[in-house]
Amino acid sequence: MMTNTIADCLEQEIAWFGRVCETRMNAYFQQSENAIDLEAACPAPDISQSPSPYASLVREHNMSFSERVVLMLAFIPYLRPQVLDIFSMQNAVLGRPYSEIGGWHGKSHIGFLPTCETASFILAGTDLATRFAVARLFRDEHFFHKHGILKLEQKDSGEPFFNSALSLSNEYLQRLADGEIHKPDFSASFPAKLMQSQLTWSDLVLNADVMEEVENIVTWLKQPAQILQTWGLEKSLKPGYRTLFYGPPGTGKTLTASLIGKAVDADVYRIDLSMLVSKYIGETEKNLASVFDQAQNKRWILFFDEADSLFGKRTQTSNSNDRHANQEISYLLQRVEDFPGVIILATNLKANIDAAFSRRFQSEVYFAMPDAKQRERLWQGLFGTTGKLAPDVNFGEIAERYELAGGALLNVARYAAIRAVRNQRDVIIQDDLLAGISRELMKDGKTL
């Protein structure tokens, strides 16, 4: 039923948009475009009662005639690309497309693809004042940008801004097409994975100082506007929050980031640095821009694991490679500082992080190796409710004797369970745990 509702609403809008395009073209080539009132000639259909996601979006932002035209212009290549064929005509005198109409052609798509110039042509014709008004629709403060509805992409640097390709963002394309809000998929254009965990705060064992810092982050995420406005800080402080998690591997940095997201019902995306960093000049910045642009107006937490590989110290400039590496760090510093959401950096080695980033962190949280009591709690959390432990298992003794992080304990638990199954036992014995501990210690060149 919803599919029919979506289609019916969009059919009305497509038919209206087609009339708008035809009216502009006829007026332009009859050289009477300055006299035409496009909104009066082609009134937008009444979709105020439609339950479709398209109509809901129009009502949500109380869109004007011009805004609906721009929205449909960005949407139409996905709906009915032949509607734009009217703009593919050639200037017979110059033997090329009309520059005032704009547009471009993809590598495989043979139809006309719109640019901001196309939007200006449809809405303004040759009227300069109206052209300036159209330009305001593409500013950063407009809801098209603030909510990530439209994508603007300049094909080559140095070209006029109105030459930017105009398209609908993937998120809103899916939302308007099927009525569902989709989370972005991991891809080359979005090198980040959604972090999810079945664990809870009771599974995380941290000292009181760390938990206090975590609570500060949670409080900020729950009430950022109230904190800024109540204390009159909105003029002095930027809305984002940046924190550094550092300490030995396996001490709970990644799990803590996931649980913070759970606590505030926010998605946590782990940035894949292997796909983000490129050896080609400018590609790393482009990949970073793609992530930050998509996250800009979302309530997401961006988690950079092993952050020192990307946020490392700048070097003395001795060649072009050093200059480009330093430019990447400078660009990253700017984007991190301007990001309005929460960014969590995690590293095993704090000393490797560039000092310029450290100065901009709102907090630095040290995840230490758990002490004996904390290790015993972790062991009990892993096996305490399974009923699969032999009487000889003594977590207190193991916790006291062997210093292991929580991540290592998980490896021991997995190995102990496998060993018990191989030996056809339905319980884990102390020797299974000791064998697993021995394997973990060997990784660091230690023995039992």
Indicate whether 325 and 209 sit together in one domain.
yes
Which residue, among 192, 188, 189, 245, has the nearest Cα to 214 in the 3D structure? 245
Looking at the fold, whether 118 and 214 belong to one and the same domain comes out as no
Number of independent structural domains in the chain? 3
Of 366, 382, 402, the residue that ends a domain is 366
User: Rounded to an integer, what distance in angstroms lies between the CA atom of residue 80 and that of residue 15?
Assistant: 10
255 or 332, greater pLDDT: 255
Q: Are residues 15 and 157 in the same domain?
A: yes
Among 322, 347, 366, identify where a domain stops: 366
**What pLDDT does 286 receive?**
75
As a whole number of angstroms, the distance between CA 150 and CA 176 comes to: 13
Residues 45 and 15 in one domain: yes
Residue 255 within any structural domain of the chain: yes
Residue pLDDT, tens place only, 245-256: 999 999 999 999
Angle, alpha carbons 38-42-48 (nearest 5°):
120
Cβ neighbours for 125, distance < 8 A, ≥ 6 positions apart: 24, 27, 28, 33, 34, 36
The predicted-structure confidence for 184-234, as pLDDT tens digits, reads as follows: 766 666 788 889 888 888 888 888 999 999 999 999 888 877 777 777 777
Burial class (CB in 10 A: 0-12, 13-18, 19+), 92: exposed
Asked if residue 47 and residue 171 are part of one domain, the reply reads yes
Checking DSSP bridges between strand 300-304 and strand 241-246, what pairing results, if any? Answer: unpaired
pLDDT above 60 (res 395): yes
Residue with tokens 């009309």: 98
Q: Is 156 exposed, middle or buried (0-12, 13-18, 19+ CB in 10 A)?
A: exposed
Containing structural domain, residue 48: 2-178
What is the mean predicted confidence (pLDDT) over 72-97?
89
Q: Are 329 and 226 in contact (CB under 8 A)?
A: no
Largest CA distance in the chain: 95
pLDDT, position 432: 94
Q: Please indicate, yes or no, whether residues 173 and 43 belong to a single structural domain of this protein.
A: yes
Asked whether residue 202 falls in the same domain as residue 286, the answer is: yes
> Is residue 220 domain-shared with residue 312, that is, in the same domain?
yes
**What is the per-residue pLDDT across 341-384, written as a single tens digit (0 to 9) for each?**
899 999 888 887 877 777 778 889 999 999 999 999 999 988 87
**CA 209, 213, 218, 220 torsion-angle sign:** positive
Mean predicted lDDT score pLDDT of the chain:
85
Does residue 144 share a domain with residue 44? yes
> Comparing C-alpha atoms, which of 398, 411, 351, 399 is closest to residue 373?
399
Q: Are residues 325 and 405 in the same domain?
A: no
**Residue 186 counted as domain residue:** no
> Same domain for 132 and 229?
no
